[in-house]
Amino acid sequence: MRLTETQALAVAHRGGNLLISASAGSGKTEVLARRVVDLLADAAKPCPIDAIAVVTFTRAAAAELRERVARMLRQRAADERDAHLRRHLHTAEAMIDVAQIGTIDSWCGRIVREHFAEAGVDPAYRVLGEQEAVLLRAQTLDALFEWVFTSDEGVAAAAREWLRALPQATDEPLRALVLQLSRLREQLLDPAASLARRRREFADDDAVRRAEAILRAGLLDEIEFQWQQLAELLADAPPIGVKLSAYCAALEEWREGLRANRPLAALLDRMEAWKAPRARRNQPEDPRAELVIERWWKSRLKRRWTGEPARQALACAAVAARRAVTLIDLEAEYERRLRAARQRLGALEFGDVLRQALDLLGEPQPDGSRRPTEVARRLQRRFHHILIDEYQDTSPVQVEVLRLLSRDAAGETNRFMVGDVKQSIYGFRKAEPALFTAQMIELDAGRAEGRALFLTDNFRSRAELLNPLNALFASLFDRILGGTDYQPRERLIARRADPPRAAESGTAVPDDTLLQVVLLDPEDSRHAPDDADETDETVDATDESDDTAVGDEPPEELERAEREAIFAAHEIRRLLDGGATVPIGAGERPAQLSDFAILLRSARQNAGRITATLRRHGVMAVSGGQEALLDTVEGRDVRALLALLCNRRQDLALAAWLRSPFVGLREPQLAELRAVAPRGPFHRAVLRYARRAPEGELRVALRRAFERLEDWRRASRELELPDLLRRMLRDSGYDLFVRGLRGGAHRAATLDALIELADRFAAAGQRGPAEFSEYLESLAAIDSEPSVGVAPQADAVRVMTIHASKGLEFPFTFLLCSGARFNRVVQRQSLFFDDAAGLGLRTHDRAVGGPISTAEHLRQSAAAWERHLSEELRLLYVAATRARERLWIVGHADRDAAAEQREAFRGKPIPRITRLAANSLLDWVLLGVGSAELDRPRDGNGAAVCVREWVPALSARNAGGAGLVEGAAERGGSDGHGGSEGRPAADPAAAEEWAQAACARITSGVVSTAATSPVALSVSAIKQLQRDAHEEAAALPAERDAELFRAAALARPAFARQARAPDPRDVGLAVHRFFETCDLAALIRPAELERLVAGLVADGRLAANEAAMLPIEDLRWFCGTPEAALLAAHADRCRREQPFVRALPVFGGRDSVLVRGIVDCVVETDAGAVILDYKTDRLPDAAALQRRFEEYCVQLQHYRAALQCAWNRPVVRTVLIFLAARQVLDVPPGDPPALELS
């Protein structure tokens, strides 16, 4: 490969730091390898190989670099005439295996081992594997919370107070916060000093003043930003109509109010109350107004900075500050215990090794910087050159380590840094691309010694593909969003030399543009509307209010992914059938399946669906990247076998083992086993069959299987765990069986990965299958599964994540699921920590009735979302630049909305605030295509980008496809075992008999009560069922008929209800809201009731219209009851709006339904729990009250039974409080009546 002028400059550079921005496909690895060789072969000053240090991002990259450098050294030595230099090069080649080329982890490990005495560590320490480290952290956390619940120390007492304040009886939210803070400390240069400083700030008495200052600064930044964006938007044309003018005036008013330090609470009220004026009749309205009002004002400024979150941050500032102090103290205790646990094991985590290396190399200074230690100075003298690959993906701690290793004296700086901020996609690994950008700015401005170079010559992709991509990303990137302005010096230049290409047969169609944006109509999918743009920020991904696993795909997205996979299969078949070719050398070759790649933003769940869909439509495909090891079919089979070695009386494991290839029973045989003992555990039925059934094929198979299981159990006492696994796989023939299946190489790789995991487990000092089985189950339970690489296939489409594709290239690339909405989990995090911005915490508080947060959390949540969007944009860049020949960006989008996005800023720059409002990768693509006008013909040529719609054929969903894979459907359905190869054809007579029986079953009437019964019921629904049963047994009174008729009547329209009395349901909701949010201790003061209600309205806990509906005199009566005194006396032990779920047997115990409900109030007393339920029913007489009481008794009996079961504590009293009737009635003891569904 001949170097370009810029590449040659990078290779030959001497004297001073050099920062290289190497764009996609620019040959940075070649440049890095050639620079190493050039330094070694420098005739004027040849560098010893042990004086060069090269830091790579992965071990694979280090191995590739070693191999490439060794090959170049051999070639250079063969061409070298100087004998002395030739010997030097041969020596360097011989020492390549011990050269200082490796990852930052290996580098820091070497430093710590060489200086173990100064570091104070055991020189024989080992580094914990990822899963082992996770388990150790979990065990240490368990021990910490045992201490929390039993210790009298102040930190433990504060933690218990926090737990009592949570709305649910669980310690999981606090556990999660401790783990998060422990992980966040790893990115801090001096975590102890940073946390101590934040603790002092939160311990300050004036928490409200501090919170107000933070909120004021954040709000002012947002308003200034919108003001600047509005100025850019309106630069070409002044606003038309009243809406934009009014918003400009409002921004100016709010900005001046903040600058003048006017009271923040009043300003927030005015902002929240602001509404855009209505358009005037016969006066046109600015088309930009809707965008500004909906996206800028409502979705951004109003939602983030006004309303409940901001008020709570001010009102609860003192409580939030106490919680923050408690968390910092609790995490410090956790870190102390974790260090002790690792010391007992003689082990460190990767983060510990990095921290130890930093402390060895740098001595902290009062200003927060670090001065090189003697160890660092020795290493600086040792290494003449420091070369760093993928510099954009380094963390702050890693950058500081590399700085301390490098020389910094004038004229002696020696760092060579290669990276590309546009390809920084590892934020989850603590990568900080802003450090790369900051260094580039310093070098450009001449404030740092050295220079910057840009490698933009692209040798990967066709010019017809690069040109529209340059225009697209130039319209989307800027210094804030993406990390770079995408200036002309950063744009990709096509340098690939292509032979002349003939038109591809069978592909000359209008949609044959090299870059295509393919839209599918969401209405064609059977799913719920995906229009939830305003994510509820009170839901938290780590706290008690959200039980959705992070990263899980909603069902509608899975179905959309399948439809997009059908499009990909259609295109792949079209191209291959049409004779598509791929350039190779000076010629071409026919395209094949392995030339195609399908990239996904997230592979969890949908990668498997897409792979299966491709196979179903005749396209062989494999999932690339990493697959969860424990969730593979082979992983589940081995886990079931290990579980049975420890305990045969495990029904699920036993059934899985019997059905797996280890035994190979079919479903009818399993049913035959179960028929021996239809009730009771399955393992008893299996053992009974094995002992008592008549001799036959099934009994023989069982006997042999259990004999083999017993042999393996005996062998487990003698063999090492990895050897035991190998023997079980060999004896059963399981390993050979899976190799013979489709995808056998990958299945075999899964088994090898399991054995490797067992090797590591045994090396840690643990031997038995019981411990290993428990270890695997623990990994699965904490969602920390090891992974297995996918074995390469001879010819198959690769399906992988964008992350896994980095560094790779493919002739034909599909980016699927581009219309999937961004995961907003980053906004809902409970904890943020930044050395500059501080600690942002959000938790829930039962007394407040909702979330409380520090002011820092509101500000950092917005900043975190913008960082997340920057990484999403960089992911789009990485995905698009993998393609060599063609690129398809595929996603679901509404036709009209897509057209509006393309036209919104056609031919104009897209304001940053609009780009920040994007909800998907496809949103950006459509905005950019319109802004750069890439979808319109230019200079007599066709459009650079084809935007088209695709509608699948009616039968596409179930098409089998006799295309590229014969018999692609696999045997066994979801179990993944086996294929169709070698199976005898079915008997035609038997097939006909089976078909007739199947038709008879399908067409016959099915009478099944259970099939039409609900899976879950609310307690109110159960009450209605009981009421209906009574009404069927006895005629309804006339007034009851009238009541039912009124309840079934259509609701009045809003305009007809305005002058009438409040709806009874709204009154009930208002009363429940009052009891949920009020200060219970104040209920014993009836005279102050109005003041209590007014305070709730002022604090924003109760809406003004709700307060107006409250029956004040009824509530005043209640304040004088013993029950109100009970609430006031136990205010800190009351659980309000307590949810529950309970399984209730039905159909004589053969099945069950879930019963769910919410208890108004549970008071925990020393004698037991007391349930209070408030009713606002207005009834005509005592008889009606009695009937209603009897109906509600069923509801309260279910409450009582559920709480007694869940809490394992008695409910000593259950009370119904009829406020309007001013009656307190005790529910009699007893269980609720049996539920009968019909």
DSSP per-residue letters across 308-360: HHHHHHHHTHHHHHHHHHHHHHHHHHHHHHHHHHHHHHTEE-HHHHHHHHHHH
Question: What confidence score (pLDDT) does residue 499 get?
Answer: 64
Give the dihedral of Cα atoms 517, 520, 521, 523; nearest 10 deg: -150
In this structure, of 218-227, 553-562, 869-878, the range with the lowest mean pLDDT score is: 553-562
Average pLDDT over every residue of 397-422: 93
In this structure, of 506-510, 731-735, 912-916, the range with the lowest mean pLDDT score is: 506-510
Q: Which residue has the tokens 């609900």?
A: 1014
Question: What confidence score (pLDDT) does residue 989 get?
Answer: 61
- Choose among 600, 632, 647: nearest CA to 921: 600
Average pLDDT over every residue of 1152-1170: 87
DSSP codes, 494-535:
E-------PPPTT--STT--SEEEEEE-GGGS-S------S-
Q: What is the pLDDT of residues 1124-1159, one digit of tens each?
A: 999 999 988 899 988 888 877 765 556 677 788 889
In this structure, of 219-223, 915-919, 980-984, 1205-1209, the range with the lowest mean pLDDT score is: 980-984
Pick the CATH number of 627-786 from 1.10.486.10, 1.20.950.20, 1.10.287.70, 1.10.510.10: 1.10.486.10
Q: What is the pLDDT of residues 1096-1105, one digit of tens each?
A: 888 778 888 8
Q: What is the pLDDT of residues 593-649, one digit of tens each?
A: 999 999 999 876 678 788 889 988 889 888 754 455 666 788 889 888 988 888 888
Q: φ, ψ for residue 1211 (rounded to 5)?
A: -100, 110
Say how far apart CA 577 and CA 1005 lie, in whole Å: 47
b/e 1027-1060 (16+ beta carbons within 10 angstroms → b): eeeeeeeeeeeeeeeeeeeeeeeeeeeeeeeeee
Question: What confidence score (pLDDT) does residue 795 get?
Answer: 82
Average pLDDT over every residue of 1166-1189: 91
Query: pTM, whole model, 2 decimals?
Result: 0.72
Question: What confidence score (pLDDT) does residue 68 get?
Answer: 94
The chain-wide mean pLDDT, for the chain, equals 83
Average pLDDT over every residue of 995-1002: 66
Give the dihedral of Cα atoms 1087, 1175, 166, 1082; nearest 10 deg: 10
Question: What confidence score (pLDDT) does residue 981 get?
Answer: 35
CB atoms within 10 A of CB 1181: 8
Whole-number Cα distances in Å, 350 to 133, 138, 398, 453: 9, 17, 12, 33
Beta-carbon contacts of 50 under 8 Å, excluding residues fewer than 6 positions away, are 95, 98, 99, 100
Question: What confidence score (pLDDT) does residue 855 get?
Answer: 93
pLDDT beyond 50 at 1049: no
- Report DSSP state, residue 554: P
Question: What confidence score (pLDDT) does residue 766 get?
Answer: 57
Q: 3-state secondary structure string, 849-868? A: CEEEECHHHHHHHHHHHHHH
Question: What confidence score (pLDDT) does residue 532 get?
Answer: 34
Cα of 456 vs its chain's centroid, Å: 33
Average pLDDT over every residue of 189-195: 92
Domain boundaries, the chain: 5-119+351-460, 153-333, 515-531+552-625+795-949, 627-786, 1016-1226
Q: Are strands 797-801 and 787-789 parallel, antiparallel or unpaired?
A: unpaired
Question: What confidence score (pLDDT) does residue 921 get?
Answer: 97
- CATH number corresponding to 515-531+552-625+795-949: 3.40.50.300
CATH topology of domain 1016-1226: Lambda Exonuclease; Chain A (3.90.320)
Average pLDDT over every residue of 195-220: 91
Question: What confidence score (pLDDT) does residue 286 get?
Answer: 79
Q: What is the pLDDT of residues 646-662, one digit of tens each?
A: 888 888 889 989 989 99
Average pLDDT over every residue of 689-715: 87
In this structure, of 401-415, 533-547, 933-947, 1156-1170, the range with the lowest mean pLDDT score is: 533-547
Report H helices in 477-632: 555-577, 606-616
Q: Are strands 1211-1218 and 883-892 parallel, antiparallel or unpaired?
A: unpaired
Query: Do residues 623 and 603 touch, judged by C-beta distance below 8 A?
Result: yes
Q: Please, which pLDDT band fits residue 1020 given cuts at 50, 70 and 90?
A: low
Average pLDDT over every residue of 740-769: 77
Token couple for 689? 């069959």
pLDDT beyond 50 at 509: no
Query: Do residues 387 and 49 touch, judged by C-beta distance below 8 A?
Result: no
Question: What confidence score (pLDDT) does residue 680 get?
Answer: 84
Sheet with 515-520, side-by-side order of all strands: 621-623, 797-801, 596-600, 810-815, 883-892, 515-520, 945-949
Say how far apart CA 182 and CA 328 lie, in whole Å: 10
Beta-carbon contacts of 143 under 8 Å, excluding residues fewer than 6 positions away, are 337
Q: Please, which pLDDT band fits residue 552 given cuts at 50, 70 and 90?
A: very low
pLDDT beyond 70 at 968: no
Query: Do residues 458 and 494 touch, judged by C-beta distance below 8 A?
Result: yes
Query: Do residues 1115 and 1089 touch, judged by C-beta distance below 8 A?
Result: yes
Q: Which residue has the tokens 């038995």?
A: 768
Token couple for 963? 């295309």
Q: What is the pLDDT of residues 133-172, one digit of tens each?
A: 888 999 999 999 999 999 999 999 999 999 999 998 899 9
Question: What confidence score (pLDDT) does residue 541 get?
Answer: 33
Q: What is the pLDDT of residues 897-911, one digit of tens each?
A: 999 999 989 999 999
Question: What confidence score (pLDDT) does residue 1037 get?
Answer: 41
- Looking at the structure, give the CATH architecture of the domain made up of residues 5-119+351-460: 3-Layer(aba) Sandwich (3.40)
Average pLDDT over every residue of 235-261: 88
Q: Are strands 52-56 and 457-458 parallel, antiparallel or unpaired?
A: unpaired
Question: What confidence score (pLDDT) does residue 986 get?
Answer: 45
Q: Do domains 5-119+351-460 and 1016-1226 have the same CATH topology?
A: no
**1213 forms bridges with which residues in the sheet?**
1170
Q: Please, which pLDDT band fits residue 1021 given cuts at 50, 70 and 90?
A: low
Q: Which tops the pLDDT comparison, 15 or 416?
A: 416
- Choose among 808, 646, 1055, 609: nearest CA to 58: 808
DSSP codes, 189-217:
SSHHHHHHHHHHHHHSS-HHHHHHHHHHH
